[in-house]
Structure 1
């Protein structure tokens, strides 16, 4: 009988390198991954990430509902009371499992490429589905310099709203981002001072943008944002730092501890320090949308060949390309040989077929411990040689999202390229 639960797999901590090398050789550069589910105690799940409704609180009611699935992750969550491996992706080889982190540690450049391995010594990025019923607090993610003060890493992040996971918009499909031009630090300081007096009014200083499936955003560290209720695919840096600047959301209290959790303990009551964590120029940028909004840009015109590959996340943060992402659509009955410049994590969001001959299926419902055939990690060598995607359906497109590490796609578009589909 086939194994269909991650709990039935044998955990492997030794001989990982030979297992990885053998699997990469067999599959042409692919490692199959098991789902990695993440709960958040302060949010309400949006119920669009295909997790069985009986398993929404699989970690326990006290841990909160599961509203995230992390992809090709070597990053642990920062949740209080978390499981030891929470947030980490597991590779599935036969009847064995081991973390993608162990695979990277064991194989290094042979898996993720020498440029990333030599500079970072790890897979420094991850992506996830982020799915909530309503909006979340106006918050920021610290910069590298700020996060280093507490032994963490900063976090730029990006958004793409896949139509396949947004058949409904839920309660508030709008995101507040940045601050209105002309906002003063004194106004923000007053909001923090008023933390225990009811709604601190931080959203009065911001602007909401309507979210549209099939589009996205690139968000720098130190920029305030209050994500809305679309299910979001989020390539981002491998960190879980944040500071919540809004104290009340849909009548739910946001504790002060979530404002200062990634700030030095000596600064937890220093309101000036807290306000100065924000990058002021970027928050009050009068051209905020122009500098952060994304729409897909075709990689090449391949529609006559039965598939379409599009950039969905591109652009730079302070002249650095931290991550990029593409969306591949293969027409019914067609195949595509797709070559890329570097390693990537992949999730199939629609359809069924094969990837280098391995099963590739987007499931309709997933139990908490259930294995799937919708997620893979592709090595740099495999990506450069090319991966063959075949759509075995006669009616439905095969759609996959894949994200890449830092500086591996110098040919990616610049911010704003969607306006003329040229770069």
Structure 2
């Protein structure tokens, strides 16, 4: 079938007016739980875990990247295109065969887009306080560790918090916080001590600067920033890599066996670094993590680009990344003009059509994720009575 990929793609693109749909690329993780949106994933129990003990908490959107997990799985994270002949093809294979047609000159700027399902049953941290739904574990992105040295650049990423008070979610998570950077007056020695408590306490979380999550807001997180994203389903856009060093274990959980705790710290935290001081020196950008103007510099609210009786279009990603939200009223339509660049889209809520083909928010039953190839327009029509059709679309990132 490999030799026929160009002709199969051509037939699908012709039939679907320049649009390709993909199957959901679900990714398991061992370090955080979710809100049961992508799959049953709110507890680390056998009924919810895969054979590795991981929970399905991430969905990678039109992805050319493979997930980096301690226990890897072949092609995990890489998208599969749905072709009209019924046989799927890996997006990496399609790009190798027809990269110019699918991505124009943007293949080297194609982002990794993720839907992160973050949450779980509330727990009380070791330092006390009210119960909280657990965030993603505290971590940092500073590149791969090669021969004991951090090889940058680390991963640059940005978040957008979509609304949850609409179908199929209909959730009110209450007050949710993300811990980004460290609190005022936290010292390097405080962080060193907390790193030494990996798997034994939640000391690192006590040092994090809390920021309340607000729908339609987002952040940009630069390499070297200590962060623990809060328990709100999140659209993340990033450069296409999966590097990390954990700075803490799962919120509210303890690893009782000292030997197991040391091994987990070695495998998930140090990942080739020598010790806690080496971690702090090589992978933590202290000036960034302790910046007193962190919120002013890096928090970003969505802004309206246009609106009318049909609905509204908003910008939701900024700076190096660019993305939009389309909120289309019942019975209305919106036309995205042809672009010289490709873009990927995700239906977040509602149902309707794209270029005459049905789309919807339920990824198990609907075409939900798509690629609009260069030079093709996209016409959305909202056919759902009483519900907005909400679509997020992401473009290639900018270099320089």
The alignment status of 1:375 with 2:381, answered yes or no, reads no
Taking the TM superposition and a 5 Å limit, the aligned residue runs for 1:67-106 are 67-94=57-84, 95-106=86-97
Which position in structure 2 is the counterpart of 1:296? Answer: 302
Which position in structure 2 is the counterpart of 1:162? Answer: 162
Shift of 1:140: 0.9
**Range with greater deviation from structure 2 (181-190 or 141-150):** 141-150
Preserved CA contact (<8 Å) 2:183 2:208: yes
Preserved CA contact (<8 Å) 2:114 2:236: yes
Preserved CA contact (<8 Å) 2:145 2:151: no
Please give the alpha-carbon distance, in whole angstroms, between the structure 2 residues aligned to 1:52 and 1:251.
16
**Range with greater deviation from structure 2 (325-334 or 178-187):** 178-187
Structure 1 segments unaligned to the other structure (5+ residues): 1-11, 316-320, 411-423
The alpha-carbon distance between structure 1 residues 80 and 192, as it changes in their structure 2 partners (threshold 3 A), is closer
Please give the alpha-carbon distance, in whole angstroms, between the structure 2 residues aligned to 1:127 and 1:285.
27
Preserved CA contact (<8 Å) 2:352 2:382: yes
Shift of 1:210: 1.3
Taking the TM superposition and a 5 Å limit, the aligned residue runs for 1:315-354 are 315=319, 321=320, 323-339=321-337, 340=339, 342-354=341-353
Flag the structure with higher helix content: 1
Please give the alpha-carbon distance, in whole angstroms, between the structure 2 residues aligned to 1:255 and 1:25.
55
Please give the alpha-carbon distance, in whole angstroms, between the structure 1 residues aligned to 2:289 and 2:151.
25
Taking the TM superposition and a 5 Å limit, the aligned residue runs for 1:353-364 are 353-363=352-362
The alpha-carbon distance between structure 1 residues 381 and 264, as it changes in their structure 2 partners (threshold 3 A), is farther
The alignment status of 1:108 with 2:95, answered yes or no, reads no
Shift of 1:146: 8.3
Shift of 1:255: 4.7
Which position in structure 2 is the counterpart of 1:185? Answer: 188
Preserved CA contact (<8 Å) 1:49 1:131: no
Which position in structure 2 is the counterpart of 1:35? Answer: 24
- How many residues are aligned here? 375
Per-residue CA deviations over 1:95-118 (Å, capped at 9, x if unaligned) read: 11001111112112221121x23x
Structure 2 segments unaligned to the other structure (5+ residues): 121-133
**Secondary structure at the counterpart of residue 135 of structure 2:** coil
The TM-score, its normalising length taken from structure 2, stands at: 0.83
The alpha-carbon distance between structure 1 residues 136 and 110, as it changes in their structure 2 partners (threshold 3 A), is same
Please give the alpha-carbon distance, in whole angstroms, between the structure 1 residues aligned to 2:149 and 2:76.
24
**Secondary structure at the counterpart of residue 108 of structure 1:** helix
Preserved CA contact (<8 Å) 1:361 1:374: yes
**Secondary structure at the counterpart of residue 234 of structure 1:** strand
The alpha-carbon distance between structure 1 residues 264 and 195, as it changes in their structure 2 partners (threshold 3 A), is closer
Taking the TM superposition and a 5 Å limit, the aligned residue runs for 1:38-77 are 38-49=27-38, 60=50, 62-77=52-67
**Secondary structure at the counterpart of residue 209 of structure 1:** strand
Per-residue CA deviations over 1:180-224 (Å, capped at 9, x if unaligned) read: 24433232222224447x326223332111112222211111111
The alpha-carbon distance between structure 1 residues 139 and 362, as it changes in their structure 2 partners (threshold 3 A), is same
Per-residue CA deviations over 1:42-89 (Å, capped at 9, x if unaligned) read: 322320236799x99576254322112111111111123332121111
**Range with greater deviation from structure 2 (204-213 or 283-292):** 204-213
Taking the TM superposition and a 5 Å limit, the aligned residue runs for 1:172-321 are 173-195=176-198, 198-199=200-201, 201-247=203-249, 249-253=251-255, 255=261, 261=267, 267-276=272-281, 277-299=283-305, 301-304=306-309, 306-315=310-319, 321=320
Which position in structure 1 is the counterpart of 2:117? Answer: 130
Which position in structure 2 is the counterpart of 1:407? Answer: 398
Please give the alpha-carbon distance, in whole angstroms, between the structure 2 residues aligned to 1:62 and 1:353.
37
